[in-house]
């Protein structure tokens, strides 16, 4: 059986990444859509052969509970709407994929996890890289300690937002925050899977060079992490700096991905040479992995606890900045939020 996925929110990520990937997936397919824009209904219905009864809007969405063709609800809306739609999906008895960042704050993450647990449905976060071979290779090198202890890890994730000050990502009510919420979660992810450890503290700084454009949200943030093993970590995230890299300096060598978190192609090297893996749609791999989790009990590569852990770190970073860069302690169980 192929699971039926419904995409909620037909913006650029659904249009250009997820829907095309769902034409290639083996264990799931695009069964339906949820949109607030009536003009999109017939365009998508024709393009993806979606029957009328599988098309919903934000108001009648809850009727999805009665639709057996829909197994999974994939929430691809602005961050402020993730919690509401994930919770409504769980209450309708559907499995949930929630885009990153998981929600506006840790409290909302808790509400999503709770709703999925009490309905007995599975929850995955849209962290596509965990299904992707370059990232998986980094995780293997870390697990097998190929280069010995990791002394330093750094990750950068940013791009230049130039021309649209009205976009929801720069509106704190809709995004919850700027670069850190959007790209920073990738850098946080990188330093965690790049060490195999959760951090025990963070200190952070914020920089603003274009306050007339970034009126409401953070432009550039740097943060430093401590890890139990002694590894030191550092991230930079920005809506005004182009950067996309993961680098680790180890006792017996080093490894690097550059770019580390864009769509394909990714690239990487280690002190032993170039990495070379197939470049397949990350979204295809991610959605098939989640379908395999539901169908065959395969590991959940990016569970809700992972999104929640990252939101705890995001909140700690904002707290540190608010307190002039003071160190904020973090206290995770060693493997909390690691997924499969
Ligand atoms: P987008 O702006 O292109 O699309 C947003 C969609 O939400 C549109 O269809 C819009 O009509 C709808 N919407 C409903 N209410 C809205 C409101 N009040 N304001 C603005 N739009 C509203 O955004 P996107 O790039 O598709 O991002 C959607 C989600 O997906 C975000 O959470 C984002 O972080 C995430 N995302 C993840 C990845 C990834 O690689 N995993 C990539 C891009 C986006």
Structural domain contains residue 334: no
CA of 240 to the centre of ligand 1 (A): 20
- Per-residue burial over 64-87, b if 16 or more Cβ lie within 10 Å, else e, is beebeebbbbbbbbbbbbbbbbbb
Beta carbons within 8 Å of 335's beta carbon, 6+ residues apart: none
Give the separation between CA 86 and CA 258, rounded to whole angstroms. Answer: 33
Does 285 fall in a domain? Answer: no
Position 162 scores a pLDDT of: 83
- Span 36-53, average pLDDT: 97
- What pLDDT is stored for residue 250 in this prediction? 98
Per the residue annotation, which of 186, 284, 292, 318 is the catalytic one? 186
315 and 193 both lie in a single domain: yes
Tokens of 254: 């080093």
What letters, b where the CB count within 10 A reaches 16 and e where it falls short, cover 120-135?
A: ebbbbbbbbbbbbbbb
Of 80, 107, 126, the last residue of a domain is 126
Say yes or no: 113 and 163 in one domain. no
Instruction: Give the domain CATH number at 259.
Output: 3.30.360.10
The closest residue, in CA terms, to atom 11 on ligand 1 is 11
* Whether 46 and 97 share a structural domain: yes
Identify whether the C-beta of residue 188 lies closer than 8 Å to the C-beta of residue 235. yes
Q: Is residue 63 part of a domain?
A: yes
pLDDT of 44:
98
How far from each other are the two terminal CA atoms of the chain, in whole angstroms?
Answer: 23
**Backbone φ, ψ for residue 253 (5° rounding):** 145, -160
CA atoms of 272 and 252, how far apart (whole Å): 10
* Residue 79 located in a structural domain: yes
Instruction: Check residue 32 and give its pLDDT.
Output: 98
Tokens of residue 107, six digits: 């409290």
Same domain, 15 and 78: yes
Tell me what pLDDT residue 116 has: 99
Interval 308-336 mean pLDDT: 98
Backbone angles phi, psi at 5, to 5 degrees: -105, 140
Same domain, yes or no: 310 and 169: yes
Same domain, 122 and 27: yes
238/213 same-domain check: yes
Mean pLDDT estimate for the chain: 98
The Cβ of residue 59 has, within 10 Å, a number of other Cβ atoms equal to 8
Residue 194 in domain? yes
Last residue of a domain, one of 126, 154, 176: 126
Let me know if 2 is a catalytic residue. no
Confidence of residue 67 (pLDDT cuts 50, 70, 90): very high
pLDDT in tens, 192-248: 999 999 999 999 999 999 999 999 999 999 999 999 999 999 999 999 999 999 999
Alpha-carbon span 185 to 201, nearest angstrom? 16
Cα of 310 vs centre of ligand 1, distance in Å, is 19
Pick the last residue of a domain from 126, 154, 170: 126
Note whether 197 and 265 are same-domain residues. yes
Q: Sort strands 232-238 and 150-160 into parallel, antiparallel or unpaired.
A: parallel
Question: For the residues 270-276, what does the mean pLDDT come to?
Answer: 98
Cα dist. 14→30, 38, 228, 288, 339 in Å? 11, 16, 39, 16, 24
Q: Quick check: 163 pLDDT over 90?
A: no
The boundaries of the domain holding residue 107 are 3-126
Tell whether 146 and 262 lie within a shared domain.
Answer: yes
Name the pTM for this structure: 0.98
Per-residue pLDDT at 173: 98
Same domain flag for 100 and 73: yes
Distance 226 CA to ligand 1 centre (A): 33
Please confirm, yes or no, whether 66 is among the known catalytic residues.
Answer: no
Q: Residue 108: inside a domain, yes or no? A: yes
Residues 142 and 253 in one domain: yes
Question: Is 162 inside a domain boundary?
Answer: yes
pLDDT for 72 beyond 90:
yes
Within 6 Å (CB) of ligand 1, which residues are found? 9-14, 36-37, 76-79, 99-100, 126, 128, 168, 174, 182
Ligand 1 atom nearest to 10, measured from its CA: 9
Distance of CA 313 to the CA centre of its chain: 14
Q: Rounded to an integer, what is the distance from CA 172 to the centroid of its chain?
A: 18
Domain match, 176 and 43 both: no
Give the length of the chain.
340
How many domains does the chain fold into?
2
CATH number of the domain at 22, please: 3.40.50.720
pLDDT recorded at residue 6: 98
Establish if 227 belongs to a structural domain.
yes
């Amino acid at each position: 059986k192929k699971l039926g996925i419904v995409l909620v929110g037909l913006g650029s990520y659904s249009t250009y990444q997820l829907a095309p990937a769902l034409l290639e997936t083996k264990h799931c397919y695009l069964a339906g859509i949820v949109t607030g824009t009536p003009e999109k209904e017939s365009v998508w219905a024709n393009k993806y052969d979606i029957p009328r009864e599988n098309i919903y809007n934000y108001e009648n969405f809850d009727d999805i509970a009665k639709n057996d063709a829909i197994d999974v609800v994939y929430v691809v809306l602005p961050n402020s709407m993730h919690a509401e739609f994930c919770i409504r999906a769980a209450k309708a008895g559907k499995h949930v994929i929630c885009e990153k960042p998981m929600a506006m704050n840790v409290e909302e993450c808790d509400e999503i996890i709770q709703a999925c647990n009490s309905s007995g449905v599975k929850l995955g976060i849209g962290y596509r890289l965990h299904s992707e071979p370059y990232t998986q290779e980094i995780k293997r090198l870390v697990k097998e300690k190929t280069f010995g202890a990791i002394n330093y890890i750094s990750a950068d994730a940013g791009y230049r937002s130039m021309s649209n000050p009205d976009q929801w990502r720069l509106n704190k009510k809709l995004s919850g925050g700027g670069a850190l919420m959007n790209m920073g979660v990738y850098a946080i992810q990188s330093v965690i899977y790049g060490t195999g450890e959760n951090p025990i503290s963070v200190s952070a700084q914020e920089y603003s060079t274009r306050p007339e454009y970034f009126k409401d949200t953070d432009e550039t943030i740097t943060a430093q992490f401590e890890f139990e093993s002694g590894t030191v970590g550092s991230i930079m995230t920005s809506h005004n700096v182009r950067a996309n890299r993961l680098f680790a300096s180890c006792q017996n060598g080093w490894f690097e991905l550059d770019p580390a978190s864009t769509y394909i192609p990714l690239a990487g090297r280690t002190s032993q040479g170039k990495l070379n893996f197939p470049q397949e749609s990350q979204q295809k791999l991610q959605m098939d992995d989640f379908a395999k989790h539901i169908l065959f009990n395969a590991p959940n590569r990016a569970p809700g606890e992972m999104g929640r852990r990252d939101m705890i770190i995001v909140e700690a970073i904002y707290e540190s900045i608010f307190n002039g860069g003071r160190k904020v302690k973090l206290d995770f169980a060693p493997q909390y939020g690691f997924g499969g």
